[in-house]
Amino acid sequence: MSAPGFSGGNEWGGMSFDPKTEYLFANTENVIWTTAVIDRSAPPRTDRPQDLAGARSRYTFSGYNKFLDPDGYPATATPWGHLTAIDLKTGKFAWRIPFGEYPELVEKGLKDTGSESYGGAVVTGSGLLFIGATIYDRKLRAFDTKTGKLLWETVLPFAGTATPITYMANGKQYVVIGTTSAMNRKAGAKGSAYVAFTLDGAP
């Protein structure tokens, strides 16, 4: 078993920083992964191409496997993901909240479970933190950097597994994020898209 899992605690989107509050922001997941060493001296398995490829080593591994319960959810206590603000002046958490949801669990009243998230956040000078990252609920969210309060959210066409960018054009400020279904094998619709919003939330 590996904790954090093979995909890490903090993902490829990296962390973001607010120079006004001196807070560092990180989205992390709490999902355990497993693997095992397999002795190839036994007859090769026809359902494992790597066993049939004439590999040189006697040993191989069982692959990257998430430690899941019978229903397909992480087999550990929730939250399975967090969004955290670290006060760099003290080294302590300024705030920490569950981050991400499974829509089907929310329908059953199970909120704040947290989830895997792939992608980082962008912080604006006005004290907003924008982040997508959560692969199952496909949301883009805006938080207050000082308190972690959720100020706005919307559902994207696909998961926003990228770090958003923000820019000015013709006097308006925009937030843009790349989205894709590639990280969620359970996703219904397949595809990818860039989605842009003005700072007032209009697409």
* Helical segments of the chain, H only: 49-52, 103-107
Say how many C-beta atoms besides its own lie within 10 A of residue 58's C-beta. 9
In 3D, which of 138, 122, 25 has the Cα closest to residue 82? 25
Q: What kind of architecture, by CATH, is found in domain 16-32+67-198?
A: Beta Barrel (2.40)
- What whole-number distance in Å separates Cα of residue 132 and Cα of residue 137? 10
Is the per-residue pLDDT at 140 higher than 60? yes
Is the per-residue pLDDT at 19 higher than 90? yes
Q: For residue 6, give Cα distances in angstroms to 35, 126, 178, 196.
A: 10, 35, 24, 32
Beta strands in the chain (DSSP E): 16-18, 23-29, 33-34, 37-39, 59-61, 65-66, 81-87, 92-98, 121-123, 128-131, 139-144, 150-155, 165-169, 172-180, 192-198
Is the per-residue pLDDT at 182 higher than 90? no
- What whole-number distance in Å separates Cα of residue 145 and Cα of residue 25? 9
Q: For residue 34, give Cα distances in angstroms to 2, 67, 74, 166.
A: 6, 6, 12, 38
- Cα four-point dihedral sign 102, 107, 108, 109: positive
| Residues whose CB is less than 8 angstroms from the CB of residue 103 and which lie 6 or more positions away in sequence, other chains included | 136, 137
User: Do residues 143 and 115 lie in contact, with contact meaning Cβ atoms separated by under 8 Å?
Assistant: no
**Segments making up each domain of the chain, as ranges:** 16-32+67-198
- Residue 148: predicted pLDDT: 97
- Residue 39: predicted pLDDT: 81
Q: What is the pLDDT of residues 111-137, one digit of tens each?
A: 999 999 999 999 999 999 999 999 999
Residue 30's pLDDT band (cuts 50, 70, 90): confident
Record the tokens describing residue 50, joined without a space. 């790597």
Question: 2-16, 141-155, 187-201: which has the minimum mean pLDDT?
Answer: 2-16
Residue 27's pLDDT band (cuts 50, 70, 90): very high
- What whole-number distance in Å separates Cα of residue 23 and Cα of residue 87? 5
Q: What is the pLDDT of residues 183-196, one digit of tens each?
A: 776 767 789 999 99
